[in-house]
Structure 1
Amino acid sequence: MSLVQITESPRVQASEEIRRFRWRFPLLLVCLLVALTWQVVMRVNTPAADTPLGLFLILYVGSFLPYGLSCVLIFCTPAPRGRQRWLELGVILLSGLLMRALFLPLDPNLSRDSWRYLWDARVTLLGYSPYVYAPFDPHFAHIRDFILANSRFRTAPSLYPPMAQGIYLLSYLLAPSNLPFLKGIFVLMDLVSCGGIAYLLARRGGDWSRCILYAWCPLPIIEFALQGHVDASTVMFCVLAVICAQGNWRGSRVATGFLIALATLTKIYPILLLLVLMRRRDWAMLLTCVLTIFLAYVPYLILGHGQVLGFFSTYASEQQPNAGPVYLILAKLQAFIPNPLAAKLLFYAGELVVMGGVALGVLWMRWRKRISVEASVLVLYGAVFAVSSHIFPWYVPTLLPWITLLFPIAWRPERRPLSIGLAALATCYFTCATLGGYFTHTTPDWNLYYLLAYLLPLLLLACATSFAWRQRRVKAHSDVKSH
């Protein structure tokens, strides 16, 4: 090879790379136009609550097609550079906001939980504990209106932790009885999550635009912007906690513990982030987290005279068909034990062994730096869902940020093993497949749901494990030969 060829080859490769990603942005705009058109069609065909949902559910599932094509485009092409990188990220985030804003004015139709949020805020402002008093309590006869009429579980007290209650209170104080305003707060939190994912990608040297996996996903768009679920705040606090944990500035450990506590005070399972983010003798983070959680419960301990669990214990022990696979298996085994007490003990012991074993395994690997943060979070949250008594579609968007960070770079497969990419794909599929739970209301075939939502991802994870084991053996064999 001549000197001219050697000196010119980098320029040729650079120009080829520029040509390769020049068409990415126009194609992304085409995908955006299709996705937005689909969202508009969904909005026009969004039925009112307690009316047939068949067409809307079909459109909901169909919206994953333009979304999937957009993700394939971003994940399978090189990232742009310079101003075009910022332009592409801006388009993704602004269009994500637009997709969510389309559904903000509409009332929720798949779930009535967000109406209960407003009711809880009203009860707290009256000086009562939502963990003690149910909506049909005689104390509230004088305030029964459209909020109560649209709520569900009217004979049960609340189960939402104090930070969630704080968000409801803030929304109610700023805009009383205004559900779109509360949903708008969740949308803003969701956009912070999108920006946080882009930041984590940039920090790892990845393609910022990969945040499209979350920003354009129909699941958080519908479940947070239309249905108005509080899980949007959980996702945001978890992402911000991971960002703070990677900082070296003074007070970063305290801030991390505080954010983990806030996430735990919206849903309980984010407390597991302590296992992922805590370093040895990291007392500042641990004490901040524990103290924040305790102080948040103090007002409700006073209002409720020590009662703060509300409906949670009943909710967690309910045996429902949308439970996790481990929960379902243990429930089946429980039926074969004639002694009710022994059956119950076996059930709880089985859940404790599964969850405790996974938690200890992740902690051991984290301390030895054998597993990444995103993989640790996915494993722990996946174990939580596996033993959970309920898995609703609005629960699982919390997996999407970590899937985004775990996916390998398509055009550089040497950066991540095939097994990791397959595991990320399986988790992403499971996240989207939980939508099948909505169809069981019209055709209650839970066996088909288990096949599609549980069995197929488990098979993919088994294949990923097999590939990982084989790669490990090949590496060990090559190391032996090199020595």
Structure 2
Amino acid sequence: MRSTRALLPTVLAGGAVILLVAVVAVGTHVHGFAHADRPRALVAIGAGWVAFAVAVLALRRVPERVVVPFVLAGSVAVGLAALTGPPNLSTDSARYAWDGIVQDAGTSPYAHVPTADALEPLRTDWLFPAPAGTDAGGVAVCPAERVDPTTSVPSGEPLCTAINRPHVPTIYPPVAEAWFAAVRTPVPSSAAYWPLQVGGLAVSLAVTGGLLVALRRRDLGVRWAAVWGWCPFVASEAVTNSHVDVLGAALVLAATLASTRPAGVRRALTTGALLGLAAATKLVPAIAGPPLLRRDGWRTAAVAVVTFVLVYVPYVVGAGSGVLGFLPGYLDEEGYDSGNRFALLAFLPGPVATVVAVGLVGALAVACWWRADPDAPWHAQVVLVGGTLLVVGPSNAWYALLLVPLVALSHRWEWLAVPAALAAGELYPRMAVIRPAMGVALVVVLAVTLVRASRPARLPRLTWRPA
């Protein structure tokens, strides 16, 4: 009788995970590129979050002895489901693949724009499909979905390409570029999106494993690893759409755990090196750094800066100042230079919004550094990263991949409202949508924080201990 009672919760949780896997698999075939497809994509994203919530709540009743294999199996299943379709919310992985192909051919990714005539021998059919012809204005007619007309540089020949912004240099820092080259090296240039998707799955599973080990060693409840491993947001952004931010999140997690090791020079060296590599992956992971500087701060910061500079050296030698790529143009394009990007500060004039945003993020960074617990810095990190995302309101939801492992470590589940809101804003980047979405996320975070602070015994804490 007792064994039956113990088996039933596991069976129910397994059914919830199967439902989640099915929703993720279906969601990979719902594209969000075209305006007409966005409502279906929004429904698919919402269904994924609901299935995820059901699955992690069902996990609370699973017996302790089977939690680790259960979480791992669910993570593998969700990740494999995310492999069943091509990128459906972003075309960034086309640029990743091209940068890898260029590097494997011995050319710096910062030296030429993708449509440069000098790189014509490297063009592949899946990244540069042949035009079906040209229209009356001489513009290429492109037959495939997610393929746009462009021109070769400097010849001006009409082209079709799957790469976004094909007339600007790459924006990605050296560690990201090294990742692109490493993933593309074992496969032929004709291999399309799946190498980066498999690479994203491998890193995602490594994060799940790292969380399981860290949570067990610190007696924080291994069930919380499912917050990352089963999250449909992670499956979509890290695997299906293959965003390199998953690598940055993994490196930040490693730096965070390294910072809690016993005192010594090795701790500062390891933490600083990992933090520098994370920042040299996407720059965004640097916002998780201040709470790690509460202990051995100057040593850790110095090692991080030196690491960041050193990984740039080989690329600077080959391309000079071109290593900055499209970063300045990207900041202007996204509205950060003008101040029009800050959703929650949209009631302010653009320049004023920029000043206020910088002030808020700076004050938050100082406060989180000052209040950080060196033995558990993730509590300050989740507030700093989540708060920064709320202030900045990026149109790219995948930046929030950095937040999810910190939610798992800190148990601050309310911060998952931020990636959920950003996912909606990714489909509908207009202020009329992203502003209320981010506003709801802010209300959720503040409400749960206030309730937790005032009535901790009455708030479900989701400690996920077996009944």
Structure 1 equivalent of residue 139 of structure 2: none
**Cα pair 2:335 2:341 within 8 Å, conserved:** no
Of residues 113, 119, 122 in structure 2, which corresponds to 1:140?
119
Letter in 1 for 2:52: Y
1:454 aligns with 2:438: yes
- For residues 55 and 349 of structure 1, the distance between their equivalents in structure 2, rounded to whole angstroms, comes to 38
Residue 284 (structure 1) shift: 4.4
**Structure 2 unaligned runs (5+)?**
129-160, 457-467
Residue 332 (structure 1) shift: 4.8
**Structure 1 unaligned runs (5+)?**
1-14, 336-342, 408-423, 473-483
1:384 aligns with 2:388: yes
**Cα pair 2:394 2:422 within 8 Å, conserved:** no
Structure 1 equivalent of residue 370 of structure 2: 364
Structure 2 equivalent of residue 37 of structure 1: 22
* Residues 124-144 of structure 1 deviation map (CA, whole Å, 9 limit, x = unaligned): 344544335221223223333
Letter in 1 for 2:177: Q
* Residues 13-52 of structure 1 deviation map (CA, whole Å, 9 limit, x = unaligned): xx99x99865432221121222233334445x44597695
Letter in 2 for 1:426: E
**Are the structure 2 counterparts of residues 398 and 325 from structure 1 closer, same or farther at C-alpha, using a change threshold of 3 Å?**
farther
Of residues 428, 443, 462 in structure 1, which corresponds to 2:416?
428
**Are the structure 2 counterparts of residues 458 and 38 from structure 1 closer, same or farther at C-alpha, using a change threshold of 3 Å?**
closer
The 5 A counterparts of 1:67-466 are 67-75=52-60, 77=61, 80-81=63-64, 84=65, 87-104=66-83, 106-145=85-124, 146-148=126-128, 149-177=161-189, 178=191, 179-248=193-262, 251-320=266-335, 327-328=342-343, 332-334=347-349, 343=351, 346-366=352-372, 369=373, 372-388=376-392, 390-407=394-411, 424-440=412-428, 446-451=431-436, 453-464=437-448, 466=450
Aligned-residue sequence identity (percent) comes to 22
- For residues 139 and 231 of structure 1, the distance between their equivalents in structure 2, rounded to whole angstroms, comes to 30
Letter in 2 for 1:29: G
Residue 254 (structure 1) shift: 1.7
**Are the structure 2 counterparts of residues 463 and 437 from structure 1 closer, same or farther at C-alpha, using a change threshold of 3 Å?**
closer
Q: Normalized per residue, which structure has more helix?
A: 1
Q: Secondary structure at the match of 1:391?
A: coil
**Cα pair 1:276 1:377 within 8 Å, conserved:** yes
**Cα pair 2:21 2:81 within 8 Å, conserved:** no
TM-score by length of 1: 0.77
**Cα pair 1:193 1:236 within 8 Å, conserved:** yes
- For residues 393 and 164 of structure 1, the distance between their equivalents in structure 2, rounded to whole angstroms, comes to 18
**Cα pair 1:326 1:351 within 8 Å, conserved:** no
- For residues 126 and 270 of structure 1, the distance between their equivalents in structure 2, rounded to whole angstroms, comes to 29
* Residues 301-325 of structure 1 deviation map (CA, whole Å, 9 limit, x = unaligned): 111123321111121233459x999
The structure with the larger Rg is 1
- For residues 129 and 334 of structure 1, the distance between their equivalents in structure 2, rounded to whole angstroms, comes to 40
**Are the structure 2 counterparts of residues 20 and 428 from structure 1 closer, same or farther at C-alpha, using a change threshold of 3 Å?**
farther
- RMSD over aligned CA atoms reads 3.2
- For residues 256 and 213 of structure 1, the distance between their equivalents in structure 2, rounded to whole angstroms, comes to 24
Structure 1 equivalent of residue 133 of structure 2: none
Residue 61 (structure 1) shift: 2.1
**Are the structure 2 counterparts of residues 281 and 236 from structure 1 closer, same or farther at C-alpha, using a change threshold of 3 Å?**
closer
**Cα pair 1:316 1:389 within 8 Å, conserved:** no
**Are the structure 2 counterparts of residues 325 and 359 from structure 1 closer, same or farther at C-alpha, using a change threshold of 3 Å?**
farther
* Residues 217-258 of structure 1 deviation map (CA, whole Å, 9 limit, x = unaligned): 111111222111111111111111122222238733322222
